[in-house]
């Protein structure tokens, strides 16, 4: 029951940010480009005929993949119907599915699955990889690691609880349990905001507010009044797995 409530919170947060997401999704665009470049230089002997985009958001990653594989057939899915509708505005001649990818029974098979900065919202990456690699010959994804948002977490440590992300080593172990790890990489992306409040507004526009639950609101409001610049780091793991 608790996990269902958390998923509903995630769905609601991203639904509310569907129209503002692209205006702040700089890191998401950069990581999409890097993931697709890895795909291009690493793997598939023949171009994929069918590609599945898991957690498609506003379609950033599929649009990047289309630069490499314009002739592929694309299926995009996301838990937020509002996000899917934003994708539909940009991408034509594709299939769109509104679903929770962890629970959804995908009806077909795909040459390539892609997912950019989405699986960190999942309950179990381990279980999901075991499931999705039954439908995808290759699965290429990016996700946050344990160093992400270090300064923000440190500042908010007396105010609430953030999601905990796995280390790169833990992610490598999970990947290797489910197939042949063709390639992996890690990158850090840094953002700077004029104030801490500005960084909070950034997360709201991105829809990434479901990983924080305030506890000590007095401390939180004090921090929001802080006029100093705020740094924000994304530590990202990239992996490409070939299913067994």
Identify the pLDDT of residue 157: 62
Q: What is the pLDDT of residues 152-187, one digit of tens each?
A: 766 666 555 456 899 999 999 999 999 999 999 999
Identify the pLDDT of residue 216: 45
Q: What is the pLDDT of residues 184-205, one digit of tens each?
A: 999 999 999 998 888 889 999 9
CB 108 within 8 A of CB 132: no
The pLDDT confidence band at residue 2, using thresholds 50, 70 and 90, is: very low
Q: What is the pLDDT of residues 72-83, one digit of tens each?
A: 999 999 999 999
On the question of pLDDT at 212 being above 60, the answer is no
Q: What is the mean pLDDT of the chain?
A: 89
The pLDDT confidence band at residue 230, using thresholds 50, 70 and 90, is: confident
Give me the domains of the chain, ranges plus CATH numbers.
Answer: 2-243 (3.40.50.150)
The pLDDT confidence band at residue 224, using thresholds 50, 70 and 90, is: low
Neighbour tally for 91: CB within 10 Å: 18
Residue given tokens 């305030």 in the structure block? 214
The pLDDT confidence band at residue 66, using thresholds 50, 70 and 90, is: very high
**93: which DSSP letter?**
S
Which of helix, strand or coil describes residue 244? Answer: coil
CB 90 within 8 A of CB 96: no
């Amino acid at each position: 029951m608790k996990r269902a409530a958390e998923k509903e919170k995630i769905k609601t947060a991203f639904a509310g940010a569907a129209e503002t997401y692209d205006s702040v999704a700089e890191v998401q665009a950069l990581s999409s480009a890097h993931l697709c470049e890895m795909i291009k230089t690493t793997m598939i002997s023949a171009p994929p005929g069918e590609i599945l985009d898991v957690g498609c958001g506003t379609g950033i990653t599929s649009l990047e993949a289309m630069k490499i594989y314009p002739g592929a057939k694309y299926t995009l899915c996301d838990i937020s119907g509002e996000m899917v509708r934003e994708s539909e505005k940009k991408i034509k001649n594709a299939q769109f599915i509104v679903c929770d990818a962890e629970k959804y029974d995908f009806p077909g098979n795909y040459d390539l699955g892609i997912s950019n900065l989405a699986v960190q919202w999942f309950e179990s990456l381990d279980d999901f990889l075991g499931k999705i690699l039954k439908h995808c010959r290759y699965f290429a994804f990016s996700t946050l690691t344990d160093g992400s948002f270090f300064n923000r977490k440190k500042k908010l440590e007396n105010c609430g609880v953030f999601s905990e992300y796995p280390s790169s080593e833990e992610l490598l172990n999970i990947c290797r349990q489910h197939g042949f790890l063709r390639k992996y990489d890690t990158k850090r992306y840094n953002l700077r905001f004029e104030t801490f409040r500005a960084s909070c507004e950034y997360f709201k526009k991105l829809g990434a507010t479901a990983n924080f639950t305030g506890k000590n609101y007095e401390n939180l409001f004090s921090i929001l009044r802080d006029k100093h610049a705020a740094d924000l780091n994304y530590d990202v793991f990239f992996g490409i797995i070939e299913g067994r």
